[in-house]
Amino acid sequence: MKRLRVLIVADECNPDWPSLPIVGYKYAREIARHCDVTIATHTRNRENIEAAADGLDVAYLDNEYIAAPMFRLARWLRGGEDVAWSTSMMMNYLPYLAFEREVWKHFRPALAAGAFDIVHRITPMSPTLPSYLAGKVRQPFVIGPLNGNLDWPKDFLAEQAREKEKMRRLRGLYKYLPYARSTYDRAAAVLTAFDHTREDLTRVEEARIVRVPEIGFDPEIFHAKATKPAGQRGTDGKLHFLYAGRLVPYKLPELPIRAFAASEKLQGHRLHILGSGPEEPRMRALIAEHGLEGCVSMEGRKSQAEVAEMMRRCDGFIFPSIRELGAGVVIEAMACGMHCLVADYGAPGALAAKGRGDAVPIAPLEDMVASFTARLEACVDAPAHMASCAARAKAYAEDGYTWAQKGKHAAALYRAVLAGEDLRGFDFG
Those residues whose C-beta lies under 8 Å from the C-beta of residue 416, and which sit 6 or more positions away, are 423, 426
| pLDDT band for position 147 (cuts 50, 70, 90) | confident
**The predicted structure's pLDDT at residue 167:** 66
For the beta sheet containing 316-319, the strands, ordered from the edge strand earlier in sequence to the opposite edge, are 296-298, 270-274, 240-244, 316-319, 339-343, 358-360
**Mean pLDDT, range 370-392, rounded to an integer:** 95
| pLDDT band for position 82 (cuts 50, 70, 90) | low
**Mean pLDDT, range 355-359, rounded to an integer:** 96
| pLDDT band for position 75 (cuts 50, 70, 90) | confident
**The predicted structure's pLDDT at residue 76:** 75
Taking 80 as the threshold, does the pLDDT of residue 228 lie above it?
Answer: no
Taking 80 as the threshold, does the pLDDT of residue 330 lie above it?
Answer: yes
**The predicted structure's pLDDT at residue 170:** 65
| pLDDT tens, position by position, 98-120 | 999 999 999 999 999 999 999 99
Domains and their CATH numbers in the chain: 5-216+402-418 (3.40.50.2000), 240-399 (3.40.50.2000)
| pLDDT band for position 10 (cuts 50, 70, 90) | very high
Q: What is the CA radius of gyration of the chain?
A: 22
Assess contact for 375 and 357: CB atoms under 8 A.
Answer: no
Taking 70 as the threshold, does the pLDDT of residue 84 lie above it?
Answer: no
pTM: 0.85
**Mean pLDDT, range 302-330, rounded to an integer:** 92
| pLDDT band for position 29 (cuts 50, 70, 90) | very high
